[in-house]
A and B are shown apart, each in its own frame.
Chain A
Amino acid sequence: MATIDARAKTGRMLIYRHSLAVRLSHWVNVLCLTVLLFSGLQIFNAHPALYWGQYGADNDPSFIAMEAVEDGDRAKGLTHVGSFTFNTTGFLGLSNVDGEATARGFPSWLTLPSYQDLSTGRRWHFFFAWLFVLNGSVYLLHGLISRHFRRDLAPEGKELTLAHLGQEVANHARLRFPKGAEARHYNTLQKLTYLAVIFLLLPLMVATGLTMSPGFNAVAPWLLDVFGGRQSARTLHFLTAFSLVAFVVVHVAMVILSGVFNNLRSMITGYYSIEQGDE
């Protein structure tokens, strides 16, 4: 990763860590995934229930569903997960819209737009889905041609031993991050996580999204077989979205814990500062 070194006066050294293509596609991705998440929750709210299989509507068994029910003279929000029911009043199923208790799956502050408007949610979702796919395609092509994947992301054999992975997990748990020469490249946990996100979760989002399209089903009916139906694909789309949210939460936490300024600079300018002397 480090190709151009620039000596700094502080005893630290700036290494060139992220290429322009990686930095640009990263920030376009941040924008796309943000809009896709909030507009996706808007779309989900139009029918806040998830099913498995080829079909699923009100009368079919769902394994996640949100609803508002009457409870005496008040209303409450319920979330069903399998055979369990949780009272989620104020957050899921029923939440305040301008001071008024309103039936909605996710609350206003998590949807784009904030009020219920499926058609606008869809417009935003599909526009940014296209941008996301184009951005991802450019990134994948660049990663292959520039050997970014092989050089920076593919773990070496010795990194995949249980002893090494155990050591890294222990270091992460103690919030001890690599320093010096070690910090020149991604650690193995980073590599494996990024690979899983790039080659598993993000493509899964696109594929399950396309499987919900009746038009695309005619193009590629085999997608229905891969995911077991439109409703299974819709459920997987939702679960994968939340896996990505979980990834982002951990990712941002790691960025903060291992040095916000240094990490942000490297993702904006490309230059990352490491301690000297461990060469």
Chain B
Amino acid sequence: MSRVITRRRFLIGSTLTASALGLSGCDALVESDRPKSVLKIAEGFSMKTQRFLLGDKALAREFSEADLSPVFRSNGTSMPDNPQYLDWMSRQFSTWRLDVGGLVEKPSQFSLAQLKAMPSRTQITRHDCVEGWSAIGKWTGLPLGALLQSVGLKPEARYIVFHCADEYEKTLDGSGWYYESIDLVDALHPQTILAYSMNGRDLEVAHGAPLRLRVERQLGYKQAKYLTRIEAVADLGRLYGGSGGFWEDRGYEWYAGI
């Protein structure tokens, strides 16, 4: 919203002032570990309740062409600052490959052309940013379930992790790589697709070219852009911050259904 202070400057500024000047009573409470762990209970309740009520197959609302947002805002990274990515981009992603590995029977690599040749699904859905705004877009891609079936999941696999080509914000430990994860309920959901097209055209760079994830029953930060590698894992603890995603490592819920 602000034209004066960019979001990043604003976040950095407010974090520094909060730590430098000490926290007021309420802030000291919200910062301490015990209340934090108690508050986390709510995420479990929300996930279990939603999963109980919606089951595995309930679909997110799909809209009509008339409902499409005239301008679909891009968020997070809009141009990955990564030499490898820039090279792919300069070659129209013809040398880009999606690596599918981890706990799968047949680790494989797919070119964009191969992915586009597989069965596809088109859906007009709403993108809900955790910040509160929404946009409606038309996505075409291949169902993740079909891709996983073609490589064969091993029985131990419980989560699907998405590795991305963008470093969103370098953190002190040097790793700001964007990544995300979902469980098999969402991975095998019919609307969970790897999208290569938006609003009838190839995905634009700002929206995650050449391939991004759509998990329509969760919030925007789950919809990882710039996919390079998909990994099936048994647990999320060994990845980066251990919470299963870039924003999850920074305090956001892993289950982003609300």
Contacts and interface: CB of A to CB of B under 8 A. Distances in A.
Contacts of B73: 57-59
B41 interface: yes
A94 B126 CA distance: 30
A218 B1 contact: no
A56 interface: yes
Given A102-B13, A103-B10, A215-B54, A55 B135 contact: yes
Given A55-B136, A230-B134, A67 B1 contact: yes
Interface stretch (A16-24, A45-53, A140-148, A248-256): A45-53
Interface hub of B4, B39, B59 (most chain A Cβ within 10 A) = B4
B69 A65 contact: no
Nearest to A109: B24
A67 B60 contact: no
A53 to B, nearest CB: 9
Interface string A210-237: 1011111111010010000011001000
Contact of A47 (B43, B70, B132): B132
Nearest to A111: B26
Nearest to B43: A126
Instruction: Classify chain B's interface size.
Output: 35 or more
Interface stretch (A117-125, A150-158, A198-206): A117-125
- Main SS of chain A's interface residues? mixed
A230 B61 CA distance: 11
B123 to A, nearest CB: 13
B3 A123 contact: no
A70 interface: yes
B17 interface: yes
A271 interface: no
Nearest to B134: A55
A21 B227 CA distance: 54
Contact of B69 (A57, A124, A214): A57
A49 B69 contact: no
A102 B14 contact: yes
Given A120-B30, A218-B58, A231-B134, A115 B50 contact: no
A231 B131 CA distance: 12
Contacts of A56: 133-134
A66 interface: yes
Given A102-B13, A120-B251, A43 B39 contact: no
A54 interface: yes
Interface string B188-200: 0000000000000
B180 interface: no
Interface string A24-52: 00000000000000000001101111010
B46 interface: yes
B60 A112 contact: no
Contact of A126 (B17, B42, B135, B218): B42
Interface string A185-198: 00000000000000
A249 B135 CA distance: 36
A132 to B, nearest CB: 11
A47 B218 contact: no
Contacts of A102: 5, 10, 13-14
A114 B1 contact: no
Contacts of A279: none
Contacts of A120: 30, 251
B251 A119 contact: yes
Interface string B39-59: 111110110001001100011
A278 interface: no
Closest 10 CB pairs of A and B: A215-B257, A119-B251, A103-B2, A213-B258, A46-B131, A59-B71, A57-B133, A47-B132, A127-B42, A47-B131
Interface of A: 43-44, 46-49, 51, 54-60, 65-70, 75, 94, 97-98, 100, 102-103, 105, 112-120, 122-124, 126-127, 129-130, 210, 212-219, 221, 224, 230-231, 234
Given A65-B1, A124-B39, 7 more contacts: A54-B134, A113-B18, A113-B26, A114-B18, A115-B27, A123-B39, A217-B217
